Amino acid sequence: GAGVSQSPSNKVTEKGKDVELRCDPISGHTALYWYRQSLGQGLEFLIYFQGNSAPDKSGLPSDRFSAERTGGSVSTLTIQRTQQEDSAVYLCASSLAGIRGYEQYFGPGTRLTVT
Amino acid sequence: RKEVEQDPGPFNVPEGATVAFNCTYSNSASQSFFWYRQDCRKEPKLLMSVYSSGNEDGRFTAQLNRASQYISLLIRDSKLSDSATYLCAAHPGTASKLTFGTGTRLQVTL
């Protein structure tokens, strides 16, 4: 079946501009996660949505970052007034609920470059 | 101390060798563990899940040691195509998030 999809695959933006990144999770997956990964670094957790519960925003690095998930499916991550340090690959993952619900499946990522 | 720690490597091994990586976790409530493989400039892909003492899939074996709070990944008969970064992740078993290690890089050579 279809995996997690993300768009755009690449985004180049000027410092100070806003960007929106999109994630389409695997159909039926109730949990959705956003991470970012800088070159050669590990995964940095950003935000986690689980069903209708309030999202866990504990990883968002500043108030310039926000995310929403509409209808329990598609999610958008918005970065306002982008800075050069925001350049990274932004990865989305989704999982089912339940004991196997913690097996996360990743999308191909959006490579963001802020010039 | 990081919640999940891994030796970054790189581990350089010849083709055909057996190699093992360890991953330690600090949260004793962790219930589920995962190994992911990440190729350069690609997304992580789930390799193995560990819910009890261990798991085996072909050349790959994962072992969980709850007393010492680590999980290991053993790769037998290494192939050139096994060259990648291997990420370990732990989950506390509640409505929470996975915590990832920073990965161990493996380079298999001729």
Q: How many whole angstroms separate alpha carbon B101 and alpha carbon B7?
A: 9
Contact A108 B43 (CB under 8 A): yes
More confident site: B53 or A14? A14
- For residue A89, what pLDDT is reported? 97
Is B24 a residue whose pLDDT tops 90? yes
Q: What is the mean pLDDT of residues B89-99?
A: 79
Size of interface A-B (CB pairs under 8 A): 44
pLDDT, residue A1, reads: 62
Q: Which residues in chain B touch residue A52, judged by CB atoms under 8 angstroms apart?
A: none
Residue of A nearest to B91 (CA): A102
Cβ contact B43–A109 (<8 Å)? yes
Nearest CA among B97, B4, B92 for reference residue A58: B97
Q: How many angstroms separate the first and last alpha carbons of chain A?
A: 37
How many C-beta neighbours within 10 Å does residue A24 have?
Answer: 18
Give the model confidence (pLDDT) of A46-81 as tens digits: 999 988 888 999 999 999 999 999 887 999 999 999
Task: At A3, list the tokens.
Answer: 């995996």
Give pLDDT tens digits for B47-91. 999 988 889 999 999 999 999 999 999 999 999 999 999 999 998
Whether the pLDDT of residue A7 is over 90: the answer is yes
Question: What is the model's pLDDT at position A86?
Answer: 97
Higher pLDDT pick, B95 / A35: A35
Asked whether the beta carbons of residue B44 and residue A100 sit closer than 8 angstroms, the reply is no
Exposure string for B11-47, b = 16+ CB within 10 A, e = fewer: bebeeeeebebbbbbeeeebbbbbbbbbeeeebbebb
pLDDT at B96 over 80: no
